[in-house]
Chains A and B, each alone.
Chain A
């Protein structure tokens, strides 16, 4: 395991672009984890002289990204917004990956009517506009962070479900699984110790890719005013808040959106890198060539 990890990291060091993205991501996550402890006061503190202050060093390092309409530090708000955005997305991805993969395994391994019911339910979720689902749940249960997570998690389940099911259908026919079955192992044991390990790499790659999609969906929802509500905020809501001051203070909308893009871009680059690195037939490309 340790050996593999060091091989992966030396492969990462050779691929400049992926390395930059990994570092960016670590920095963003680091700031999101640590920053709010020091900056959450500054994110809400209004300083009237700094209203719509333009980016620069005039107002000290806190106002390097400028000030918003109420004179709050955009930098502090971007960092606190990062924590909310990333936490919501991480929780949603974790829930939908676990629930989706579990249901997909049940669906694929059991087959028959259970499979049919689960797949039709997935069809319904897929054809249900995520926006409508979000509006309804938020009307019903109120716009709390937890409810947003549930909305995003439900909308994400079908992808994991379908992938897991398709893989289980293939894995269950393999010789070692048939052997386990003929030795009288319980279906539960077979699934957990023989099928699940085969699914994990794909599910993890899918999850990194989905993470960036979920960040985008969550931002779009909060841009439309359907995310967590003030005083809490995420990047999407910050972009929306800056819209009214677009012609006089573009930076209020610019920075949060810029960091959304930086995060999703890094995630996309890394997930395609991980996909190649995990694929033993492809990974030689990363080990041998500098440019790929």
Chain B
């Protein structure tokens, strides 16, 4: 197990360094931060001074070297825009993203399991057909469109919920509700498909023959079969949400890491871009290991070596 984690970590480290390198060089190709941050009528001398102050006048290789040197000392550079350490805004935004992802998955998982299990209970029934169509629609609908329609309906027409921002419980409803649709749709389909497959297997027939109650067969014997695919799809969805739910965050003014990253790129605040990428990449690495551990816990046949 430990050797597995170490090998996994070494692979991820290579990917991380490659990622940071790409982000570093590519983001600098997008243009000069001075042209965004300094006034339009700034003199050439001011521009040179600005570049010198922020170390932007060195060659790119030298800049990257000093970036790596600072990085191993946990110095993530200064944000050009905010006049503070680049990691600070990223660390401020990240909990918002994590909370949103966590609450969404916490609500989506049980809902999807119930829908999928009830649909699989009687394949071909009216409930099954309606659930299938609705979950498919949920998984296929563009998030931004649903978000826009939700704002139109619940905030503008009915006036029940705030259009954007954070603070009260009411602010959570729309972002979580919109973000939940796709996971609920995808996961319910996974549960339904795997359960329908398992219902016809011999061990379930044995359970029937023994007179085990229907609910127990469904939720104890059959549902277990769906757990592995469920965890793997749910894991992928969580990873994409941890990366920042950019659309939902921008539409609902949620101060998460996706919105921060988008702004930082537009403002050419390179240090913040790098800090965001570093933070999300590391947490996704940890998340992936946790998912592997859950796998091994759920299915004792799985061994990592």
Chain A interface (Cβ < 8 Å from any Cβ of B): 17, 120-121, 123-124, 127-129, 131-132, 135-136, 139-140, 212, 216, 219-220, 223-224, 236, 239-240, 242-243, 246-247, 250, 253-254, 257-258, 260-261, 264-265, 267-269, 291-292
Q: How far is the CB of A117 from chain B (nearest CB, A)?
A: 10
Chain B interface (Cβ < 8 Å from any Cβ of A): 11-12, 14-16, 18-19, 22-23, 26-27, 29-31, 124, 133, 136-137, 139-146, 148-149, 151-152, 156, 243-244, 246-247, 250, 258, 261-262, 265-266, 273, 277, 280-281, 284
A127 to B281, CA, bound (A): 7
Residues in chain B near residue A124, CB distance under 8 A:
15, 18-19, 22
A253 to B145, CA, bound (A): 8
Residues in chain A near residue B11, CB distance under 8 A:
120, 123
Name 14 A/B residue pairs within 8 A (Cβ), A-sorted. Answer: A120-B14, A123-B11, A129-B280, A131-B261, A132-B273, A220-B246, A224-B247, A236-B144, A253-B148, A254-B149, A258-B145, A261-B140, A265-B141, A269-B136
Residues in chain B near residue A268, CB distance under 8 A:
136, 139-140
Residues in chain B near residue A258, CB distance under 8 A:
145
Contact call A127/B145, Cβ cutoff below 8 A: no
Residues in chain B near residue A239, CB distance under 8 A:
142, 144-145, 148
Residues in chain A near residue B281, CB distance under 8 A:
127
Residues in chain A near residue B31, CB distance under 8 A:
139
Of B18, B133, B142, B265, which is in contact with the most chain A CB atoms at under 10 Å from its CB? B142
Contact of B30 (CB < 8 Å), options: A123, A128, A136: A136
Contact of B250 (CB < 8 Å), options: A17, A123, A139, A224: A224
Residues in chain B near residue A216, CB distance under 8 A:
140, 142
Q: How far is the CB of B4 from chain A (nearest CB, A)?
A: 16
Residues in chain A near residue B146, CB distance under 8 A:
257
Residue of A nearest to B193 (CB): A272
Knowing A127-B19, A257-B145, the reply to whether A136 touches B243 (Cβ < 8 A) is: no
Contact of A243 (CB < 8 Å), options: B23, B136, B148, B266: B148
Contact call A132/B261, Cβ cutoff below 8 A: yes
Contact call B261/A219, Cβ cutoff below 8 A: no
Residues in chain B near residue A242, CB distance under 8 A:
148
Q: How far is the CB of B208 from chain A (nearest CB, A)?
A: 21
Residues in chain B near residue A128, CB distance under 8 A:
19, 22-23
Residue of B nearest to A248 (CB): B156
Contact call B142/A136, Cβ cutoff below 8 A: no
Residue of B nearest to A246 (CB): B152
Contact call B149/A257, Cβ cutoff below 8 A: yes
Question: A-side binding surface: helix, strand, loop or mixed?
Answer: helix
Residues in chain A near residue B139, CB distance under 8 A:
268
Residues in chain B near residue A212, CB distance under 8 A:
140
* Extra pairs beyond A120-B18, A239-B148, A261-B145 (13, CB < 8 Å): A124-B19, A127-B15, A127-B284, A128-B22, A129-B243, A131-B262, A135-B266, A219-B144, A220-B142, A246-B156, A260-B141, A264-B141, A265-B140
Knowing A223-B247, A246-B151, A268-B136, the reply to whether A135 touches B265 (Cβ < 8 A) is: yes
Residue of B nearest to A212 (CB): B140
Knowing A120-B14, A136-B26, the reply to whether A246 touches B140 (Cβ < 8 A) is: no
Residue of B nearest to A247 (CB): B156
Contact call A220/B15, Cβ cutoff below 8 A: no
Knowing A220-B143, A291-B124, the reply to whether A135 touches B152 (Cβ < 8 A) is: no
Contact call A140/B30, Cβ cutoff below 8 A: yes
Residues in chain B near residue A17, CB distance under 8 A:
133
A78 to B281, CA, bound (A): 38
Contact call A250/B152, Cβ cutoff below 8 A: yes
A253 to B251, CA, bound (A): 14
Knowing A120-B11, A246-B152, A247-B152, the reply to whether A131 touches B145 (Cβ < 8 A) is: no
Residues in chain B near residue A129, CB distance under 8 A:
243-244, 261, 277, 280
Residues in chain B near residue A267, CB distance under 8 A:
140
Residues in chain B near residue A261, CB distance under 8 A:
137, 140-142, 145
Q: How far is the CB of B36 from chain A (nearest CB, A)?
A: 12
Contact call A224/B262, Cβ cutoff below 8 A: yes
Residues in chain B near residue A257, CB distance under 8 A:
141-142, 144-146, 148-149
Q: How far is the CB of A176 from chain B (nearest CB, A)?
A: 30
Residue of B nearest to A269 (CB): B136
Q: How far is the CB of A288 from chain B (nearest CB, A)?
A: 13
Contact of A260 (CB < 8 Å), options: B16, B124, B145, B247: B145
Of B14, B15, B246, B262, which is in contact with the most chain A CB atoms at under 10 Å from its CB? B15
Q: How far is the CB of A243 from chain B (nearest CB, A)?
A: 6
Q: How far is the CB of A129 from chain B (nearest CB, A)?
A: 6
Q: How far is the CB of A279 from chain B (nearest CB, A)?
A: 12
A17 to B146, CA, bound (A): 23
Residue of B nearest to A268 (CB): B140
Residue of B nearest to A223 (CB): B144
A292 to B128, CA, bound (A): 10
Contact call A219/B244, Cβ cutoff below 8 A: no
Contact of A139 (CB < 8 Å), options: B14, B15, B30: B30
Q: How far is the CB of B218 from chain A (nearest CB, A)?
A: 20
Residues in chain A near residue B12, CB distance under 8 A:
123
Residues in chain B near residue A260, CB distance under 8 A:
141-142, 145
Q: How far is the CB of A19 from chain B (nearest CB, A)?
A: 14
Residues in chain B near residue A265, CB distance under 8 A:
136-137, 140-141
Residue of A nearest to B156 (CB): A247
Contact call A219/B124, Cβ cutoff below 8 A: no
Contact of A224 (CB < 8 Å), options: B27, B137, B246: B246
